[in-house]
A and B are shown apart, each in its own frame.
Chain A
Amino acid sequence: MFRNVFGRLLTETIRVHRCVKNAPLTQRAIPASFSARSFSDVKDEAQQPFDTSLLEFLVCPLSKKPLRYEAKTNELINEELGIAYPIMNGIPNMIPQEARLLQKDAGASTTQD
């Protein structure tokens, strides 16, 4: 029985790239570890919450003024300068070059000095 599975693995790993839609056969051939890995990756990214006790001493590196935590977009916002610092995996990224301008061009990453 196992020889069958191995045989299928060998012949169908190449076909996997192309024939993704042949669900029953390819699913049996793909080792379970692949699907498990993708699940754990998704879990890791979403899991780490941001520790709001950091806000006690965390400030904007440019203006040194306190920041506001925006839970929806998961960012730290400096109202005065109109920039938002992203939080990735629960780690805030306080590099000015990686901050996002809030008002007009959403998605552009430039700095304001």
Chain B
Amino acid sequence: MAASMRLLLRRVIRLSHRYNNVTAAGVSARSGCCWGPSTCRCFSDVAGDRSTHFGFETVPETEKAKRVYKVFENVAQKYDTMNDVMSLGIHRLWKDMLLHAMHPQPGARLLDVAGGTGDISFRFLEYVRSQQERQKRRTVRSMQTPSSQDISNNYFTEDEDTSQESRAVVCDINKEMLNVGRKRADSMGISAGLSWVVGNAEELPFDDDQFDIYTIAFGIRNVTHIDQALQEALRVLKPGGRFMCLEFSKVTNPVLARIYDAYSFQMIPVLGEVIAGDWKSYQYLVESIRKFPDQEEFKHMIEDAGFYCVTYNNLTSGVVALHSGFKL
């Protein structure tokens, strides 16, 4: 009981400090234990926490994860609607292009980090199912006149199919987003091969060499330590596995950049206020896009983490970039 009271007190102190715009490292160390994903240095950290960006604000690293959590907790219910409105439905095309580039084969295992409401995983499962059906149709067509040997062979191959089921695991740090995603899955009737886990991208609760594909769509800019997330991605991927990242990036065309900036800063927070009743979260969203490194820099970060054959494609002339790397 005493421990939880202490935690409560610390949280209250931290809240009051936040309202006074505290960025000084010393004070944050005093105000108590870290909630963030960084290792628990709460009792011994005197050297001070480093600070990082939260949109255009500067906050201690330990604060950022908590604030990002709050943002997504607030927007979870209206997340999908807002995505459609803000991107004018184009986010569906971006995600479809990610799947197309991924081209998963039946039996593949996907880890969808920051998967939240599950868009990528749903698409992945549907893609694999349609691939399987296409394969079946092809074999049926080629086996129109089977010999007795072929028929007896078929009896054995039927068992193999069941062990080759593809799986998608959705991992997100935010329970609300996962709950919304699970409700969507239930209403769409997708349940087989889909799992939900609450976890931190910087400390994934998965064993080494487990997944064929790791995706993180529009989530990596919210991670406090991107390099740690990239290293974890390398760890959980099988050798030969693919890392794919969809993220907002720098627009290449200067004219479009102007229009995009105007749209981002004038329209999106207003839409956020009108539809979701939350100006600040969408302000954070737009600012965090500006703070994220550009295509080349992010490519270097991925290479530094140990991925090979790192490439990127600009979608919608740089509004979104699709980065891909392999663990070899």
B206:A91 contact, CB within 8 angstroms = no
Q: Compute how far the CA of A112 lies from the CA of B276 in the bound complex, rounded to whole angstroms.
A: 38
Which B residues lie within 8 Å of A51 (CB)?
A: 195
Identify the stretch in B174-182, B249-257, B263-271 within 8 Å (CB) of chain A at 4 or more residues: B174-182
A95:B197 contact, CB within 8 angstroms = no
A9 interfacial by beta-carbon distance below 8 Å: no
Contact with A along B172-212 (1 / 0, CB 8 A): 01010011001000000000000111111001111110100
A102 interfacial by beta-carbon distance below 8 Å: no
- A sample of 18 more A-B contacts (CB under 8 A), given A53-B195, A58-B197, A91-B175, is A54-B169, A54-B195, A57-B210, A59-B206, A59-B207, A61-B203, A64-B207, A64-B208, A91-B182, A91-B196, A92-B198, A93-B175, A94-B199, A96-B203, A97-B35, A107-B4, A110-B3, A110-B33
A-B contact pairs, 14 of them (CB 8 A): A48-B182, A58-B207, A61-B200, A61-B204, A90-B196, A91-B178, A91-B197, A91-B198, A94-B205, A95-B200, A97-B35, A107-B4, A108-B3, A110-B33
Of chain A, the residue at the smallest CB distance from B200 is A95
Q: Compute how far the CA of A91 lies from the CA of B178 in the bound complex, rounded to whole angstroms.
A: 9
Task: Please tell me which one of the listed residues A88, A95, A113 contacts residue B39 in the complex, with CB atoms under 8 A apart.
Answer: A113
Contact with A along B93-136 (1 / 0, CB 8 A): 00000000000000000000000000000000000000000000
A91-B178, A95-B173, A95-B198 given; A62·B203 CB < 8 A: yes
A89 interfacial by beta-carbon distance below 8 Å: yes
Secondary structure at the A interface, as helix, strand, loop or mixed, is: loop
A81 interfacial by beta-carbon distance below 8 Å: no
Task: Please tell me which one of the listed residues B4, B179, B206 contacts residue A89 in the complex, with CB atoms under 8 A apart.
Answer: B179
B40 interfacial by beta-carbon distance below 8 Å: yes
Secondary structure at the B interface, as helix, strand, loop or mixed, is: mixed
- Closest chain-A Cβ to B95's Cβ sits at a distance in Å of 22
Q: Compute how far the CA of A21 lies from the CA of B169 in the bound complex, rounded to whole angstroms.
A: 48
A111 interfacial by beta-carbon distance below 8 Å: yes
A105 interfacial by beta-carbon distance below 8 Å: yes
Contact with B along A25-52 (1 / 0, CB 8 A): 0000000000000000000000010010
B179:A111 contact, CB within 8 angstroms = no
- Closest chain-B Cβ to A77's Cβ sits at a distance in Å of 13
A16 interfacial by beta-carbon distance below 8 Å: no
- Closest chain-A Cβ to B328's Cβ sits at a distance in Å of 21
Contact with B along A4-32 (1 / 0, CB 8 A): 00000000000000000000000000000
Which A residues lie within 8 Å of B169 (CB)?
A: 54
Q: Compute how far the CA of A62 lies from the CA of B199 in the bound complex, rounded to whole angstroms.
A: 11
Interface residues of A in 56-113 (CB under 8 A from B): 57-62, 64, 66, 88-97, 105, 107-111, 113
A58-B197, A94-B197 given; A89·B182 CB < 8 A: yes
Which B residues lie within 8 Å of A107 (CB)?
A: 1, 4
Task: Please tell me which one of the listed residues B175, B198, B203, B207 contacts residue A57 in the complex, with CB atoms under 8 A apart.
Answer: B207
4 tightest CB-CB pairs across the interface, nearest first? A94-B205, A61-B203, A61-B205, A93-B198
Which A residues lie within 8 Å of B199 (CB)?
A: 61, 94-95
Q: Compute how far the CA of A61 lies from the CA of B169 in the bound complex, rounded to whole angstroms.
A: 16
